[in-house]
Amino acid sequence: MVDLLSFALLSFSSIIIVVNPLAATLIFVSLTGTMDRTTQLKVARDSSEFALIILLIFTIAGGWILQLFGISIEAFRIAGGLLLFGIGMDMVYAKTSRTQMTATEKYEGQDADDIAVMPLAIPMIAGPGAITSAIVLMNEAVGMGIVAIAIVPVAAATAIGITYYMMRHSDVIVRRIGQREYRAVNRLMGMLLIAIAVQFIIIGLRTAFPVLTGGLA
């Protein structure tokens, strides 16, 4: 019972921390700033649903999927980092990126769907860290019984639920912020996004090429 409780605490704490609902919410606020409230709520719902599906798939069959396609988590981390880096640069330099919508695009909802899937659901919410944690925890749970196996997907669903709740109520965060302050915050969020991207790339390269660590030492 003690081991099971410890595993449950580990599962919930590690997945929630790696998913990082607060960071995901701040990025959500920046990426959806030009959208109306209805579209923002749709992006929050769609990104949460897609992230949950991804996490549950990798929780249940992650190891097998990666082996089947010959994909390493390091490759996924590096690719996600490159994507986030490009978006972050657009935010810092206040350039018009593909995440900003014209009236026609807003009506069609195409870009909103794109944002919900990438980069919000992947790799911001269900990123390489969350996927890796889910796979590792599930492998450990297999030897602990059915209750432990059930804990991991519940922990993943809880982390996504918290993230969705925070994104849904993100208007509270910017309600009293003016346009000038909002632009400043948006640039700061761009810097945060770039830092996250660089960290993704560094960890991915360091893990994929251990010789780099030795060369830096």
What's this model's pTM, rounded to 2 decimal places?
A: 0.68
SS3 118: helix
Instruction: Please report the pLDDT score of residue 132 as a whole number.
Output: 80
Backbone φ/ψ region at 178: left (φ over 0), alpha (ψ -120 to 50), beta: beta
Helical pair 37-69 and 146-168, crossing angle rounded to 10 deg: 150
> What is the amino acid identity at position 184?
A
Which two three-digit tokens encode residue 215?
Answer: 């060369």
Alpha-carbon gap, residue 26 to 167, rounded angstroms: 8
Query: Of how many residues is the chain composed?
Result: 217
In the chain, the number of structural domains is 1
Instruction: Please report the pLDDT score of residue 49 as a whole number.
Output: 95
Instruction: Please report the pLDDT score of residue 216 as a whole number.
Output: 46
Contact between 190 and 90 (Cβ < 8 Å):
yes
Residue 36: give the domain boundaries.
2-216
Cα–Cα–Cα angle for 98, 130, 93, nearest 5°?
30
Instruction: Please report the pLDDT score of residue 112 as a whole number.
Output: 59
Which two three-digit tokens encode residue 168?
Answer: 């849904």
Contact between 40 and 196 (Cβ < 8 Å):
no
Helical pair 73-92 and 128-141, crossing angle rounded to 10 deg: 150
10-residue mean pLDDT profile of the chain (217 residues): values are 82 87 82 85 93 92 79 75 80 57 41 76 84 84 88 95 92 66 71 81 82 59
Alpha-carbon gap, residue 217 to 135, rounded angstroms: 31
Which two three-digit tokens encode residue 79?
Answer: 């690719």
Instruction: Please report the pLDDT score of residue 23 as a whole number.
Output: 77
Cα–Cα–Cα angle for 146, 147, 148, nearest 5°?
90
